[in-house]
């Protein structure tokens, strides 16, 4: 059996990589970003650091600091309901795998509507979601890809 994985994104890393986030957002012509993070990362000020850089790049930025470990459909659906009336054109997951996975789920729900459970299975997502940047604070989960 042959398997294939296609990873169309790019991974930027190294000293100063975070300082390029505003330029990367501008390359996408992004205007309104939502940072998705968990309470611990939020309290540590990391989301504020990202928000500051995006704001300097002239983006309007909101923060959702309530990503939970092992995100559930009810929590994801509630977040999509909370933010669905906004016109985000960039999501930024900051933290561990749960924050980044929540951002990925919101990307699809905010772009296509419905509930998280509507997209379970093969070929259920009708198209691309809202662009996502992922900024891992842990190593090894692979959630950034």
Q: What is the pLDDT of residues 39-93, one digit of tens each?
A: 999 999 999 999 999 999 999 999 999 999 999 999 999 999 999 889 999 999 9
Q: Is residue 97 part of a domain?
A: yes
Question: What's 122's DSSP letter?
Answer: T
User: Does some domain include residue 13?
Assistant: no
| Assigned domain for 100 exists | yes
Tell me, yes or no, whether 55 lies in a domain. yes
User: Please, how many CA atoms are within 13 Å of residue 21, restricted to the half-sphere of its CB?
Assistant: 28
Strand partners, 33: 61, 90
Residues 97-143 have pLDDT tens digits of 999 999 999 999 999 999 999 998 889 999 999 999 999 988 777 77
10 Å Cβ neighbour count for 45?
10
Instruction: Determine, yes or no, domain membership for 129.
Output: yes
Contact 55, 25 (CB under 8 A): no
* Coil, strand or helix at 18: helix
Query: Residue 57 — φ and ψ, nearest 5°?
Result: -90, 10
Q: How many CB atoms lie within 10 A of CB 27?
A: 9
Which structural domain, as residue segments, surrounds residue 49? 21-118+125-136
Instruction: Identify the residue whose tokens are 């995100």.
Output: 71
Q: Is residue 9 part of a domain?
A: no
What is the number of helices (H) and of strands (E) in the chain? 5, 4
pTM value > 0.85: yes
What pLDDT, on the 0 to 100 scale, is given for residue 118? 95
Domain count, the chain: 1
Sign of the CA dihedral running 73, 77, 79, 84: positive
Residue 143 lies in a domain: no
CB atoms within 10 A of CB 21: 22
What CATH code is carried by the domain that includes residue 55?
3.40.50.1970
Structure tokens at 17: 């990589």
130 in a structural domain: yes
For residue 98, give the nearest of 64, 122, 131 by alpha carbon: 64
């Amino acid at each position: 059996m042959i398997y294939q994985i296609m990873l169309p994104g790019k991974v930027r890393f190294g000293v100063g990589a975070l300082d390029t986030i505003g330029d990367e957002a501008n390359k996408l012509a992004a205007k309104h970003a939502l940072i998705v993070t968990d309470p611990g990362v939020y309290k540590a000020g990391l989301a504020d650091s990202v928000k500051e850089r995006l704001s300097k790049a002239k983006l309007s930025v909101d923060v959702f600091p309530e990503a939970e470990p092992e995100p559930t459909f009810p929590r994801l659906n509630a977040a999509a309901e909370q933010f669905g009336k906004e016109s985000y054109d960039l999501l930024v997951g900051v933290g561990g795998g749960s924050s980044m996975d929540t951002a990925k789920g919101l990307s699809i729900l905010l772009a296509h509507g419905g509930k998280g459970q509507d997209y379970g299975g093969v070929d259920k997502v009708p198209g691309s979601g809202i662009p996502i940047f992922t900024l891992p604070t842990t190593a090894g989960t692979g959630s950034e890809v």
